[in-house]
Amino acid sequence: MNKSHNALLRMLLCFLPLIGIACFSAGCGPENCQARFLASWSADGTRVALVLDPDTDSENQSGLWIASLDSYAASELVVVPPRHLCLHPQWSSSGEEILFGVLDDSEQGRSDPDKASTFSVWIARTDGSGARKVADSRTPEDSKSFLAPNAIAWGKIPGTVLYQTAAGEKITAVLLDLNAGETREFLPAPADDYSLEFSPSGESVAALLMDSTDHRAAVYVAGSAALNWRQIGSLHYDQDRFGSYSSLISWSPDSSSFVVTEMERSASGEESEEAYLRLFVAESGKSRRLCAAKTNAEILWSPRGDALIFSGAARDGAGGERGLYRVDIITGEIVRLITDDAFSLVSWDSQDDRIYYFGSYREVATQTAEEGSKKNMQFYSCDRDGNDIRLFGASLPAEAEGWSLSADGHRAVVYPGNGSPSLVEFGSRLAAHLPIVRRGISN
């Protein structure tokens, strides 16, 4: 192994007393620069799979790590060659296997005459006993779909996996039967881009099939097993949010409905600044606008399914100011909970019905003028009315760009704009140091 690889494996979980937050850090080379990681939780919420953010410099070798919250050890599970990236780790329901993709970011991998990038789909056993490649595929170089959720995923039919593939100049998704080795179309039709999301029950799936010319998306819904797709609407999607690792589709806890942000278009076809939250009922296909709102990131449902929260700007009854908002599902009434210019929502926790978020940004001077200024964020929680605000943890460096919640919603891995991700537990139990256990499976 080369020095760069050895340096990258020096990843630690730092114990920060009193705040219940632990930080992963990784060396990216001799200079030990910080790398960004993305995370995926096991179904039981006891283990986290970590891969490098695709935006991290892929000159270095990268792979897939597993951090255990029971044994407090992080182990390297998969090693990939230089200029290859592990992406989209997905745990099996049993927790015994992880599905993931390996993107070839080398010159050879990006030299396809059809301007497509090559990637492969793998399954690794989490006990370290083996990994196998199950498919090869391609994705258009300019497609944002590969950065969206469910570009690679386990199928809801046992023994199947779902992955993205190029279809001429468009893109689609196929379902692979692992036993028979056969594939079939998953989406109703190829598209310029797409976004899909399974319902919490796993019985339904919603998809947006996008036309990049006019930025319009056809809205489809189907049973996850039958794939009996029905188009139930169309809308102009939010270009700013697509391809940002967060889903454009937010299902209700009972899987009966979902919300999508739609953009207003003028008579001339130009996109205006107006954005709305549209609620779709999956069974009937009916939809209605809830309110005028421009969201920053994912929309979270209350545990009871009676309200939404989002960070951004809302117009109806709120003056268009930025902040943290709650929207009543029945009436569409908007309440501004907190006023601020920047928020990152993490969880509406079902245990205590509290909302966890990052806020209260402040500028911090840096040591050198070249670095400019950095932002610090504070981790807070509040009740559903925006009251009883509590400081949950100390400052974390940089702005939070995303997060991954455990299935029970009580833990999260938060990854900032630059730096290493943090493990957050919504409760009093503190995280502990995670030593690295060297255990690799080379492909």
Segment 399-428, tens digit of pLDDT: 555 567 777 766 776 655 555 556 666 654
Q: Determine the Cα–Cα distance for residues 358 and 395; give it in Å rounded to an integer.
A: 10
354-364/411-416 β-pairing:
unpaired
Judge whether residue 436 has pLDDT over 50: no
Q: What is the residue-averaged pLDDT of the chain?
A: 74
Greater pLDDT, 385 or 435: 385
Q: Which helix (H) or strand (E) holds 230?
A: strand 230-237
> What is the pLDDT confidence band of residue 380, given thresholds at 50, 70 and 90?
confident
Encode pLDDT of 139-177 as tens digits: 877 666 676 778 899 999 999 999 999 998 899 999 999
Percentage with pLDDT > 90 across the chain: 33
pLDDT of residue 362: 42
Which of 111-120, 344-353, 433-442 has the least mean pLDDT?
433-442
CB-based contacts of 370, cutoff 8 Å, min separation 6? none
Judge whether residue 391 has pLDDT over 90: no
pLDDT of residue 433: 29
- Give how far Cα 174 sits from Cα of 100, 164, 185, Å: 15, 6, 5
> What is the pLDDT confidence band of residue 437, given thresholds at 50, 70 and 90?
very low
Q: What residues does 422 pair with on adjacent strands?
A: 23, 414
> What is the pLDDT confidence band of residue 269, given thresholds at 50, 70 and 90?
low
Q: What is the CA radius of gyration of the chain?
A: 21
Query: Domain ranges in the chain?
Result: 340-366+373-442
Encode pLDDT of 179-206 as tens digits: 999 999 999 999 998 999 999 999 999 9
CB-based contacts of 56, cutoff 8 Å, min separation 6? 28, 35, 36, 62
Q: Determine the Cα–Cα distance for residues 151 and 357; give it in Å rounded to an integer.
A: 27
pLDDT of residue 376: 54
pTM for the predicted model, two decimal places: 0.79
Over residues 340-357, mean pLDDT: 76
Q: Determine the Cα–Cα distance for residues 364 and 112; give it in Å rounded to an integer.
A: 45
pLDDT of residue 159: 95
- Give how far Cα 85 sits from Cα of 98, 116, 192, 255, 261, Å: 15, 16, 24, 33, 31
Q: Which helix (H) or strand (E) holds 385?
A: none
